[in-house]
């Protein structure tokens, strides 16, 4: 195993490491797509291609005791919060060695030890949970923050609104991180939201909001750090809006018949967060290729690990329905 097998949230801005981490996620997602198409991965999978900078930048700013909640599009969040590529891949394969012991799958990645409280496959479904985690921190006077990832589509859900209201009312240490990738499945932002500036959502609660370029990992890191500092100080929650792009179909298999092909190709060509960082760092092609290879090795190892994993024994079916 190399040091890349686990992304260790750095708590400092280290663009070089950001690049490595984003590459691991990208290669991971690309590999998942292939493995899924080959029928190795069951269920259905949503890739975060294009949104790596949000996951990596945000999680780098978190301290190890902070927690996150995630969504159906969860691989990047899980990896960025420190789950091993092996454990995540094994989960996607439904193996006992997976981060949810094969019970969860792609949409239900958990790693409680590393502060990942799990992902909700119900859109918006984890926002109350993040609020409750923040409430626990507040009641116990622990200097911890709960950060909830969610998409633009989730801002139409009632629970989003109720959670924002409650968190602001009680000045809870929470960060509501909205990844506006401009699509909710096949529905463009303009078809599910009457406003285009989603920070207006926060005005309904008088909540502090911040906006950041979600393709710029360093900016995401800084904005998240600022939001966390605000939340940790007791000043209340922050709505953090990351403007980003979905550089992939909604899920593997989605034909995107609803999306303009030219727009899609252009966006992919111009809005890749990895290419942007590579440029900013003025990385020689050779060095970049090397990093890519390293990331590929990590992912290849994870696939091998997952393939060799254990199928959960049907005799254990009823385990963990209840805690005793």
Partner 1 sequence: MPTSTTTRFSYREAVRDAMSQAMRRDADVFIMGQDIAEHGGSQKVTLGMLEEFGPGRVRNSPISEMALTGAGIGAAMLGMRPIVEIMYEDFLTLAMEQLVNHAAKERYMSGGQLKVPLTVRTQGGAGWSSGAQHGQQTEGWFVGVPGLKVVYPSTPRDARGLLWSSIYDDNCVVFFEHVQLYNQREELPEEIEPIPLGKARIVRIGTDVTVVAIGPLVHEALAAAEQAEQEGISVEVIDPRTLQPLDEEAILESVRKTSRCVVAHEAVRRMGIGAEMAAVIQEKAFDWLDAPIERVGARFTPLPFAPGLEQASVPRREQVYAAIKRTVGSR
Ligand X SMILES: Cc1ncc(C[n+]2csc(CCOP(=O)(O)OP(=O)(O)O)c2C)c(N)n1
Q: Which neighbouring-strand residues pair with 238?
A: 175, 208
125 belongs to the binding site for partner 1 (CB under 8 A): yes
Beta carbon of residue 150, minimum distance to a second copy (angstroms, whole number): 14
The nearer residue to partner 1, 262 or 321, going by C-beta atoms, is 321
Nearer to ligand X, 100 or 120 (CB): 120
52 near Mg ion, rule: CB under 5 A? no
Q: C-beta of 138: minimal distance to a second copy in Å?
A: 15
The reply to whether 178 sits near partner 1 by the rule CB under 8 A is no
294 in contact with a second copy (CB under 8 A): no
Looking at 44-52, 98-106, 154-162, 312-320, which segment touches a second copy (CB under 8 A)? 154-162
Torsion of Cα atoms, 226 then 230 then 231 then 232, to 10°: 90
Residues linked to residue 69 through DSSP beta bridges, in sequence order: 148
Residue 186 sits in the site that holds partner 1 (CB under 8 A): yes
Residues within window 249-278 making contact with partner 1, judged by CB under 8 A: 257-258
What is the rounded CA–CA span in Å between residue 276 and residue 25? 16
Taking CB under 6 A as the criterion, the residue among 45, 87, 123, 291 binding ligand X is 123
The answer to whether 77 touches 68, Cβ cutoff 8 Å, is yes
**161 touches, from Mg ion, ligand X, a second copy, none (C-beta below 5 to 8 Å by class):** a second copy
The answer to the question of residue 181 lying near ligand X (CB under 6 A) is yes
Q: Which residue is nearest to ligand X (CB)?
A: 151
Q: Which is nearer to partner 1, 262 or 323 (CB)?
A: 323
Restricted to residues 32-91, the positions that interact with ligand X (CB under 6 A) are 72-73
- Rounded Cα distance between 114 and 66, Å, is 9
The smaller minimum CB distance to partner 1, of residues 4 and 198, is found at: 198
The closest alpha carbon to 88, from 242, 320, 298, 293, belongs to 298
Strands (E), 112-237: 116-119, 146-151, 174-180, 183-184, 187-188, 208-213
Distance CA 33, CA 45 (A): 8
Cα 73 from Cα 127, distance rounded (Å):
15
With beta carbons less than 8 A apart as the criterion, state whether 235 and 192 touch.
no
Which structure tokens are listed for 224? 């998240």
Distant-in-sequence, close-in-space partners of 227: CB < 8 Å, separation ≥ 6: 175, 177, 210, 238, 240
185 binds ligand X (CB under 6 A): yes
Which of 43, 64, 206, 284 contacts a second copy by CB under 8 A?
A: 206
- How far, in whole angstroms, is CA 65 from its chain's centroid? 17
Q: Which one of 18, 160, 176, 183 is in contact with a second copy (CB under 8 A)?
A: 160
- 151 near Mg ion, rule: CB under 5 A: yes
Residue 312 contact among ligand X, partner 1, a second copy, none, beta carbon within 5 to 8 Å by kind: partner 1
Q: Does 40 bind partner 1 (CB under 8 A)?
A: no
102 scored as a contact of ligand X (CB under 6 A): no
Sheet of strand 208-213, all strands in order from the earlier edge strand to the far edge:
116-119, 67-70, 146-151, 174-180, 238-243, 208-213
By CB under 6 A, is residue 162 in contact with ligand X?
no
Chain residues that interact with a second copy, rule: CB under 8 A: 156-162, 165-166, 168-169, 191-195, 200-207
Chain residues that interact with ligand X, rule: CB under 6 A: 72-73, 121-123, 150-154, 181, 183-185, 246, 250
């Amino acid at each position: 195993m190399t040091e890349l097998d686990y992304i260790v949230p750095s708590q400092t801005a280290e663009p070089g490491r950001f690049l490595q981490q984003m590459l691991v996620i990208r290669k991971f997602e690309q590999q998942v797509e292939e493995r899924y198409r080959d029928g190795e991965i069951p269920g259905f999978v949503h890739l975060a291609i294009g949104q790596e900078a949000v996951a990596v930048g945000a999680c780098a700013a978190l301290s190890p005791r902070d927690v996150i909640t995630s969504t159906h599009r969860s691989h990047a969040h899980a990896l960025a919060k420190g789950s091993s590529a092996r454990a995540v891949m094994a989960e996607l394969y439904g193996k006992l060695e997976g981060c949810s012991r094969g019970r969860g799958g792609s949409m239900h990645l958990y790693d409680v030890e590393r502060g990942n409280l799990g992902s909700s496959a119900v859109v918006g479904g984890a926002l109350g949970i993040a609020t409750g985690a923040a409430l626990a921190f507040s009641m116990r006077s622990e200097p911890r923050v709960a950060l909830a990832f969610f998409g633009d589509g989730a801002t139409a859900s009632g629970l989003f609104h109720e959670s924002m209201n409650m968190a602001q009312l009680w000045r809870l240490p929470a960060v509501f991180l909205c990844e506006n990738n401009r699509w909710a499945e096949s529905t463009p932002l303009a078809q599910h939201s009457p406003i285009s500036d989603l920070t207006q959502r926060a005005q309904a609660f008088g909540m502090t909001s911040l906006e950041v370029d979600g393709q710029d990992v360093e900016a995401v890191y800084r904005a998240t750090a600022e939001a966390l500092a605000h939340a940790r100080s007791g000043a209340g929650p922050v709505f953090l809006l990351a403007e980003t792009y979905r550089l992939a179909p909604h899920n593997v298999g989605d034909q995107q018949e609803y999306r303009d092909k030219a727009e899609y190709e252009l966006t992919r060509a111009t809005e890749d967060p990895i290419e942007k960082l590579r440029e900013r760092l003025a990385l020689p092609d050779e060095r970049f290729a090397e990093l890519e290879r390293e990331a590929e090795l990590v992912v290849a190892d994870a696939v091998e690990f997952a393939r060799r994993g254990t199928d959960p024994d049907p005799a254990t079916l009823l385990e963990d329905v209840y805690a005793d």
